[in-house]
Amino acid sequence: MKLKIKDMDIATGGILVGILNKKDARKFDFHPIDRIKVKKGKKTETVILDIAESRKAVPPGRIGLFEEVLDSINAKDGDNIEIIPARRPISIDCIKKKLDGKKLTKEEIEQIVWDIVHNKLNDIELTYFVAACHSHKMDMQETTWLTKAMAFQGDNLKLKKYPIMDKHCVGGVAGNRTTMIVVPIIAAAGLTIPKTSSRSITSPAGTADTVEVLTNVCLDIKKMKKTVEKTNGCLVWGGSLNLAPADDKIIRVERPMNIDAKSQLLASVLAKKASVSATHVLVDIPIGKGSKMTNKNHALHLKKEFEEISHKLGMKIKVVITDGSQPIGNGIGPALEARDVIYILKRDNKRPLDLEKKSLMLAGIMLEMSGKIKKGNGFKKAKDILESGMAYKKFIEIIKAQGGKEPKKIKIGKFRHDFSVKRNFRIKHINNRTISRIARVAGAPDDKGAGIYLYKHVGDGVKKGEKIFTIYAHNKIELEFAKQALEKLEKILIY
């Protein structure tokens, strides 16, 4: 069947979609979510079908195509194409097998990942895969196959360097912006660290959101490589690259149900590291009440699994279990966290010492892992690099290489609310999840200057009328929402 293209001027962000008028769909017995192949010359693509109910949307004799399809087959509005029925992806049978609780083979896992990367699975089918892995956990062999398949389906960053350092934090702690301090320390020491980071999913800021306050984080692989070769490091958003692209698609369907299957967590972290050719990786697992990981035994089990899979990948790894029982640093939200980082790098008296200490500890471990610094001397070397100003100089070098400028003044939300206490007491707990939720209600991370600035931490004494934190927002409405959230959550937030 030959049809004329109608450019829908819509992008899905990944899924390949075509739209037929209901008369044409009925004529050829096509139904919503069927798959069809669209062919233009030698280029063919499989798309998922939607049905238009009116001529206005898509008239008979035409097929509406979304931007991803047009780009894939190099087509434009008005071009003639041929459509034919398409078989369903092979991986659907593999997903059903996992839903039945059976072990997948290496080839089946590779097929699933290939279909994910090439947009052959719709969101429903991909969600079934995520749910299957959540209900019937992958064993170590399956998880290793999944990691390798995810790592090598997409681009790989190739660098003629050794060692290549990298780090990851499992997350769940408000603030905790260690990466932006560790990367320039490691790079200033002459080591290579091509750091890709994520944006926020449920937190007030991801590392990429915070770095974006200061510079461009959306680099392609060529620009990323150029930056690393020039400066020894980078701080880029992984979502702008085609590194382990299956990971981002899986995360997108995990988010609504807050599903975080352990096999996919392990594969997600290590596939990203393998895709940038990392040889030495540090993984930080914070534990504590209110963080993502609350049980030490679970953290130790996860540590063991990270180590086992890394060994199979030929990657040297060090896993540290750290205190995640309260926010780390003072700022919570992109601009406030970026300001904390600058305070530390510039040795400002307002710098948060807890964030500095943890960053130096992590950087010290990485320096020792590299083999360039003797065991036991890493922390001192990291501190020397920080205090000498070398880390700040390297940070600015990276920021400029990515298209930014040296920061003069970081803009914070103009509307604010101070939270003061009505009695004297000593702080025993600050709930990570609750304070993050209030910061998000205030507008973070979309509004870069929104969030919370902490003046006190666990163990500090507070006098009646003294401020514990300030909420920042860009407008009165969001500030009012944040104040309302604070009223509801105050009893479980700080005590």
CATH at 182: 3.40.1030.10
Shared-domain flag, residues 212 and 286: yes
258, pLDDT greater than 70: no
Burial class from Cβ neighbours inside 10 Å (0-12, 13-18, 19+) for residue 259 reads: middle
- Strand order in 316-323's β-sheet? 165-169, 280-287, 316-323
191 and 340 belong to one structural domain:
yes
Name the domain boundary from 46, 67, 85: 85
Name residue 279's amino acid. Answer: T
In a shared domain, residues 364 and 420: no
Catalytic: 340? Answer: no
CA distance 203 to 184: 24
Same domain, yes or no, for 174 and 322?
yes
What stretches of 35-139 show up as alpha helix (H) in DSSP? 67-73, 91-99, 106-117, 123-135
Residue 323: per-residue pLDDT: 96
pLDDT band at 445 (very low <50, low <70, confident <90, very high): very high
pLDDT at 95: 96
Q: Which of 76-90, 240-254, 270-284 bottoms out in mean pLDDT, i.e. has the lowest? A: 240-254
Question: Quick check: bond before 89 cis, omega within 30?
Answer: no
Contact assessment for residue 249 and residue 126, using Cβ atoms and an 8 Å cutoff? yes
Residue 299, domain member (yes or no)? yes
Same domain for 171 and 34, yes or no, is: no
Q: Judging by beta carbons within 10 Å of its beta carbon (0-12, 13-18, 19+), is residue 20 exposed, middle or buried?
A: buried
Q: Could you tell me which residues come within 8 angstroms of residue 88 by beta carbon, excluding any fewer than 6 positions away?
A: 35
Q: Does residue 432 sit in the same domain as residue 456?
A: yes
Name the pairing type of β-strands 35-40 and 80-85: antiparallel
Q: Report the number of distinct structural domains present in the chain.
A: 4
Q: Which of 81, 80, 118, 110 is nearest to 94 (CA)?
A: 110
Angle between helices 245-254 and 106-117 (to 10 degrees): 80
Q: Considering the domain boundaries, does residue 152 fall inside one?
A: no
pLDDT band at 299 (very low <50, low <70, confident <90, very high): very high
Residue-wise pLDDT for 127-181, tens only, equals 999 999 999 999 999 999 999 999 988 889 999 999 999 999 998 999 999 999 9
Tell me the C-alpha to C-alpha distance, in Å, between residue 129 and each of 11, 88, 97, 263.
24, 15, 10, 12
Query: Mind giving me the DSSP string for 223-263?
Result: HHHHHHHHHSEEEEEGGGS-BSHHHHHHHHHHGGGT---HH
The domain containing residue 30 runs over which residues?
2-85
| E strand intervals along 185-336 | 193-197, 233-237, 280-287, 316-323, 331-332
Confidence at residue 422, expressed as pLDDT on a 0 to 100 scale: 87
> What average pLDDT does this structure show over 227-249?
91
Partners of 43 in the β-ladder = 40
Q: What is the number of H-type helices and E-type strands within the chain? A: 18, 17
pTM assigned to the model: 0.87
152 closest CA partner among 194, 110, 119? 110
User: 114 near 148, Cβ under 8 Å?
Assistant: no
Q: For residues 22 and 118, give the distance between their C-alpha atoms in angstroms, rounded to a whole number.
A: 27
**Catalytic residue (choose from 7, 260, 354, 384):** 260
What does DSSP assign to residue 288? S
What pLDDT, on a 0 to 100 scale, did the predictor assign at position 298?
92
Q: Are residues 389 and 420 in the same domain?
A: no
